């Protein structure tokens, strides 16, 4: 899954676009929405005969891993590999020689953490632009759940990477990082139905004096 799926799921919560009349609220509808690009109209109803119901296993995986910003994580791993310094005596390196965590690792982590919700918004806005819908410039129109969930998911996966800057801490372990990813992914999947509410198209416009 990817930010593309996050943007699709967010678009499905708008009253003027998406694959369903109402915003997705069940796990099946959320999984379906994440795989459907926004359109100009509202062609179907959830559960109608023209919409294929995803298998239970596919639905579980789509929801469970649907909030992982794979594009951001892929680029993050590539940047970490590029800035990795194998010299433990190099300026800025911290901890034991086995960890080789530098200030650049932390700067990279925080930079990508801040960039994740921005990237979600940009992809979401681009999809709406293609569907000839208003770009979500006002704060009330932002896909806050998807932006927040992607940021949390990125933190968990960055925590679990082999060259994670968190490995600088003595309490860090690969087992702990693996458990953290599973817990965060599961919680995001379980919480998603509670945040699938209609998104505003734009700020209310007052007509007349």
Separation of alpha carbons 72 and 202, rounded Å: 28
Domain assignment present for 114: yes
Listed residue (121, 165, 154, 141) closest to 6, CA to CA: 121
Domain assignment present for 205: no
Domain assignment present for 208: no
Q: How far apart are the first and last CA of the chain?
A: 48
Domain, as residue range, for 78? 3-195
Q: What is the reported pLDDT for 117?
A: 95
Domain assignment present for 71: yes
Q: Pinpoint the alpha helices (H) of the chain.
A: 3-11, 27-34, 56-65, 70-83, 103-130, 144-160, 174-191
Domain assignment present for 83: yes
Q: What is the reported pLDDT for 130?
A: 87
Domain assignment present for 209: no
Q: What is the reported pLDDT for 207?
A: 33
**Domains contained in the chain, number:** 1
- Of residues 28 and 107, more confidence is placed in 107
Tens of pLDDT, residue by residue over 111-144, are: 999 999 999 999 999 988 888 888 888 888 899 9
Listed residue (115, 120, 206, 112) closest to 161, CA to CA: 112
């Amino acid at each position: 899954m990817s930010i593309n799926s996050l943007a699709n799921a967010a678009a499905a919560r708008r009253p003027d676009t998406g694959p369903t009349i109402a915003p997705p609220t069940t796990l099946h509808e959320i999984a379906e929405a994440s795989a459907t690009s926004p359109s100009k109209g509202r062609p179907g109803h959830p559960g109608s005969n023209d919409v294929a119901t995803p298998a239970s296993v596919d639905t579980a995986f789509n929801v469970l891993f649907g909030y992982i910003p794979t594009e951001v994580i892929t680029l993050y791993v590539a940047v970490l590999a590029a800035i990795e310094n194998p010299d433990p005596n190099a300026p800025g390196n911290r901890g034991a020689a086995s960890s080789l965590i530098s200030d650049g690792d932390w700067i990279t982590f925080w930079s990508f953490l801040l960039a994740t919700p921005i990237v979600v918004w940009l992809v979401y806005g681009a999809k709406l632009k293609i569907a000839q819908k208003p770009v979500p410039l006002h704060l009330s129109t932002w896909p806050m759940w998807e932006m927040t969930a992607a940021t949390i998911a990125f933190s968990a996966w960055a925590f679990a990477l082999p060259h994670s800057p968190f490995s600088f801490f003595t309490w860090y372990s690969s087992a702990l990082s693996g458990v953290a990813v599973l817990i965060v992914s599961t919680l995001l999947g379980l919480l998603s139905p509670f945040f699938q509410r209609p998104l505003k198209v734009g700020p209310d416009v007052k007509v007349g004096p």
